[in-house]
Amino acid sequence: MTEASDSQSHELGSGSLVGLAMRGSFWNSLQWFVNKIAAAVAIWVIARELSPGEYGIAVLVLATYGFVVVFPPLTLGDVLIAHPRRFELLAPTVHRLAMVIGGVSGLLVLASIPVVLFIYSTYPPLWLGCLLAVIAVRPILEAACVIHLSKMRLALEYRRIAVIDGCTQFVSSALSILMAVVGGRAASLIAPAVVNVAARAVWYRRAVTAEFKYRFSKRSANFILRSFGFAAGAQYFHNVNVMLEIIVLGYVSGKTQTGIFGFAYLLAAQTNHIIAYQLGIVLQPIFGRLQDDPVRQVLGFIKAQRLLATVFVPIALLQAILAEPLFRLLFPPDWDAAIPVFQVLSLMQASFFSVGPTMSCLKAQRRFRLLMVWQGSQFVVSLVLFGWASAKGGALGIAIASAAIWTISAPFAACLCLSPAGRGRVTQMLLAFVRPWLTAIPLLTGGYFLVRWMGSLGPLGDLGAVLVLGPVLLLLTIVIARLTDSEFRPYFDRAFAKLVLVLRRKRLTS
């Protein structure tokens, strides 16, 4: 890295780190928010055009992909970013390794088709086999993104990333809608996702020049692969843990229950993907700049998790409260069975929001082995529990089991990040998770009974609950957090001041 970047790293404190992370997350979150409007329309159309069984085929293909691709090529970018001062030296070697790993991964997906068709024999073999063949191209396309995306992340060029990802995701959502309307069925969820990665690979390449001053080096390859083995293992177990419910449920309970769970999970995780996941992407290179100052790194991590918890806990509770009116307004009765599943998975988000930043912090600390042990241990526990839960309760049973596991696992893993600064800060981290519940539960308990009463008034009552009562309750919880949490207060005041400034400008120009 240059001297300028070193001095920038020196100037970053825990407060400025969080501010920089929030600004970076803002640009990514802004494009995700805009695209989630398009994605919401796509979800609504797909829910009306696809049956739960057809949706189950699509999510099983995605889960199988996550299970088969043992070495995700994009993880090489995380390893590269963990060594910022050696970026130029390692980049050509990483690029070559990424393309090889991507090609092998694609071949593994193709080779898995006969096995998958044998295990899931009750699924339509033509659809299942063809969709797996389509998604087999994805790891090669992801490999082509590694260097250019890593270079932008390391330079903190999140506005440019947001523009690229936002445009390609919007086109992907539009393509999903079009395919669903013309009868694309399960392919409406698979093909557009592959097109999205292909478009990003091309755009990243044009947006960033990656000229290699050095050549492929076996020594560099060995150095990278030592870290990549643990990093890839950790990312693989994480990918499988996120999709394991689908894999187990698809085998034990069939495609309809799989579709119900997959649809409920997609809806429940929307906000998490908008903010926490994007913040996780932003945080790793920022944490990496503080490798030489573990105390400030950990303080910044605690503050980021605390701020996220302040926002995410009330959102998770509110999603669960508004589930029934939301489904009655938007989706046909075929999806009513997904309501309790959506409620449980929404409550899970109150802990799951922390996983992205936690993984980013462990990667920045180069603790890839610990990351793999955490996710690998969770995989073993989940595999045993999910089999029993899906047999007893189908989609709802496995949702409850998943929520219980992540509620324990997420705070535990967040505490693992604190060891470089000493164990005395564990109490601070646990309070970050618990404190928002103490302010949100009393208010939202009253909100729950109001929603039930408004539901008895018919569609107008449901509409009022979703469009009026929900936003009012969320605003009240944030105001209470502003009054009771001194660390949250400056970020709230800053965001409110910016909102007022934007409204004044619009008023002057209108």
Task: Tell me which amino acid residue 416 is.
Answer: L
Q: What is the pLDDT of residue 130?
A: 92
Question: What is the percentage of the chain residues whose pLDDT exceeds 70?
Answer: 81
| Residue 88 or residue 248, greater confidence | 248
316-358 pLDDT, tens digit per residue, is: 888 899 999 989 988 888 888 999 999 999 999 888 888 888 8
Query: Would you place residue 7 in the very low, low, confident or very high pLDDT band (cuts 50, 70, 90)?
Result: very low
**pTM attached to this predicted model:** 0.72
User: Could you report the per-residue pLDDT of 396-445, keeping only the tens digit for each?
Assistant: 999 999 999 999 999 999 888 887 665 667 888 888 888 888 888 888 88
Q: What is the mean pLDDT of residues 286-292?
A: 58
Instruction: Compute the average pLDDT of residues 96-106.
Output: 91
192 vs 190: CA distance, rounded Å: 6
The predicted structure's pLDDT at residue 199: 92
Label residue 2 by pLDDT band (50, 70, 90): very low
Q: What is the mean pLDDT of residues 158-168?
A: 79
Where residue 271 falls among pLDDT bands split at 50, 70, 90? low
Question: What pLDDT is stored for residue 486 in this prediction?
Answer: 73
Half-sphere exposure (CA, 13 Å, Cβ side) for 407?
15
Q: In angstroms, rounded to a whole number, what is the distance separating the alpha carbons of residues 234 and 284? A: 15
Interior/surface letters 221-255, b for 16+ CB within 10 angstroms, e for the rest:
bebbeebbebbbbbbbbbbbbbbbbbbbbbebbbb
Q: What is d(CA 25, CA 27) in angstroms, rounded to the nearest whole number?
A: 6
- Residue 1: predicted pLDDT: 38
Q: 12-16, 112-116, 213-217: lowest mean pLDDT where?
A: 12-16
What pLDDT is recorded for position 180?
84
- Helix, strand, or coil here: 367? coil
pLDDT given at position 277: 53
Dist. CA 357–CA 279, nearest whole Å: 7
Average pLDDT over residues 121-147: 91
Tokens 């609950």 belong to which residue? 465
The mean per-residue pLDDT over the stretch 18-37 comes to: 51
The mean predicted confidence, pLDDT, of the chain is: 80
Distances (CA, A) of 407 to 91, 278, 314, 348, 506: 38, 21, 15, 7, 43
Tell me: pLDDT of 267 over 50: yes
